[in-house]
Amino acid sequence: MSGATDPVTFSRVRGQDTARRLLASALRADRLYPSYLFAGPDGVGKRLLALEVATALACHRWTMPGDTPPGPSLFGGSRGAEPASDASEIPCGSCGGCGRARRERHPDITIVAPPEGKRLIPLADVREMDSFLRLAPLESRRRVAIVLEADRLGEPAQNALLKTLEEPPRLAHVILVTTTPGKLLPTVLSRCPRVPFGRLDLETLEAIGLAADLSPEDAGERAALARGSASTLTDEHLAGRLGAAAVVLEGLLGPDAALALAGRGSEVATDDPFGAAEVIAKAAVAASASSGDTLEARRQAVMEVLDEANERLRLGLAALLGAGAPGAPDGEALWRSGVQPRELEATIGEVDLALEHITFNVTLERALAGLLVRARVRRPEPRRGGNP
């Protein structure tokens, strides 16, 4: 098929253009690998795209290279009933095969996941999956196994999985889905081409929020807090946190508050990373309120505070790791205070995210509300004593 006539493929998956393009090309050429690793953050479409690949293989309304002539299905209708050039989308979403696949009721698709209340995927489930894949497809072109949270396969289960990966059935595919591929054995990783998934951009997250019946304002605010993941967009607790942040920010924007909080980013205390994020957000709000009426002036004032504060935090992290520099905090004092490197790294990441949001034209209020809310959500109970 030429690029001009290619049907839209995997349209239900938002974002992830590289993953969609890679898999669509392999699917239409009948060159899918026997196994894949879908790796990336939570809530970015890995599970959905895995199911859509399986659905496309089960779709009746397009012809894949190498398909046998159309014939009756055990479940009604016929496979390959229409040529690919007549299908506007793959999978079509309207045939019986697509319906059963998307309802997760298809006889040629199995989903393996940790049982409720269990830490690991049982070895028996992996062996049962292997037996399932070695049977001939009943209706689809191939049999497909989707392993969710594949990082929760114990070593015995992963070794059993290797049998499937090393001797793949001719008409079957395995898709491993994980947020932490480093927990898989190197021998497993080496046999599964990796399909990378990145965090979703703000526009995509807002579109997902609108599709979930959020108001445009709610969708925008939640997208700014979601850190590239759709999994929290409809979190009921998020609305309460946003409301609380809005109240705090309204108070900070007053003239008295602006004068009281107009601190410089270089004065951020690195011995309290969680509190530092709050101080940074407040200082940035104060800088915004006192820098004039133009949006560009406010943006520049906020970004200067965030940049300066981030530099201070990075110097603190370097000192904590024993790589002090002129002007850096006392690394030994930081260590005695109980600060962990990962805490400073997390706060630096929060500030980087606020800067990214402002750069991509998220409103200042949303970006700073997000920084403030995330800092408060992450704040632990007070520690007693320093590092051991």
The pLDDT assigned to 70 comes to: 40
Residue type, 266: S
Nearest to 136 by CA among 177, 175, 176, 107: 107
Query: 42 and 186 share a domain?
Result: yes
Residue 267 reports pLDDT greater than 50: no
- Sorting pLDDT into bands at 50, 70 and 90, what band is 339? low
243 shares a domain with 120: no
**pLDDT value of position 53:** 95
Q: Domains in the chain: how many in total?
A: 2
Of 196, 224, 254, which residue constitutes the final position of a domain? 196
**Do 192 and 298 have their domain in common?**
no
One domain for residues 47 and 124:
yes
Residue 376 near residue 253 (C-beta atoms within 8 A): no
Per residue in 214-225, pLDDT (tens digit) is: 888 777 767 766
**Residue 333 or 383, more confident:** 333
Q: Where are the alpha helices (DSSP H) in the chain?
A: 17-28, 46-58, 96-102, 123-133, 155-166, 186-189, 202-211, 216-225, 236-252, 255-261, 273-289, 295-320, 331-336, 341-359, 364-378
Classify residue 357: in a domain, yes or no: yes
Q: 137 with 242, same domain?
A: no
* Domain C-terminal end among 174, 196, 218: 196
Query: How far, in Å, CA of 29 to CA of 14, rounded?
Result: 23
Q: Is 260 helix (H, G, I), strand (E, B) or coil?
A: helix
- Identity of the residue numbered 195: V
Residue 55 covered by a domain? yes
User: Tens of pLDDT along 22-49?
Assistant: 999 999 888 999 999 999 988 899 999 9
Q: Is residue 239 part of a domain?
A: yes
Q: Do 160 and 277 fall within a single domain?
A: no
Range scoring the smallest mean pLDDT among 10-24, 49-63, 118-132, 260-274: 260-274
Residue 283 belongs to some domain of the structure: yes
Residue 1 in domain:
no
Pick the closest to residue 354 from 290, 289, 288, 293 (CA basis).
288
Domain shared by 370 and 260, yes or no: yes
Predicted confidence at residue 367, as pLDDT, reads 73
**What per-residue confidence (pLDDT) applies to 330?**
60
pLDDT tens, position by position, 285-304: 656 655 556 777 777 777 77
pLDDT above 70 (res 257): no
Confidence of residue 75 (pLDDT cuts 50, 70, 90): very low
Considering the domain boundaries, does residue 205 fall inside one?
Answer: no
Quickly state the pLDDT bin for 362 (edges 50, 70, 90): low
Domain co-membership, 340 together with 262 = yes
Whether residue 204 is contained in a domain is answered as: no
Q: Could you tell me which residue, 80 or 229, shows the higher pLDDT? A: 229
Residue 153 lies in a domain: yes
Q: What single-letter amino acid sits at 314?
A: R
Write down which residue in 196, 227, 248 finishes a domain.
196
Q: Is the peptide bond before 91 cis (omega within 30 degrees of 0)?
A: yes
Q: Which CATH number do you get for residue 145?
A: 3.40.50.300
Categorize the per-residue pLDDT at 112 as very low, low, confident or very high, splitting at 50, 70 and 90. very high
pLDDT, greater one: 146 or 207: 146
Q: Are residues 265 and 338 located together in one domain of the fold?
A: yes
233 or 287: which carries more pLDDT confidence? Answer: 233
Per-residue confidence at 85, pLDDT binned at 50, 70, 90?
very low
Contact between residue 110 and residue 141 where contact means Cβ atoms under 8 Å apart: no
Q: How does the average pLDDT of the chain come out, rounded? A: 74
Q: In terms of domains, do 161 and 27 share one?
A: yes
Q: For residues 38 and 153, state if they share a domain.
A: yes
CA contacts within 13 A on the Cβ side of 113: 8
* pLDDT exceeds cutoff 80 at 203: yes
DSSP state of 98: H
Mean pLDDT within 121-145 = 95
Asked whether the predicted pLDDT for residue 74 surpasses 60, the reply is: no
Least confident span in 94-108, 125-139, 320-334: 320-334
pLDDT (average), residues 171-180: 95
184 & 38 share domain: yes
For residue 127, the enclosing domain spans 8-196
* pLDDT above 60 for 256: no
Write b or e for each residue in 87-117: b if 16 or more Cβ atoms lie within 10 A of its Cβ, otherwise e. Answer: bebbbbbebbbbebbbeeebbbbbbbbbeee
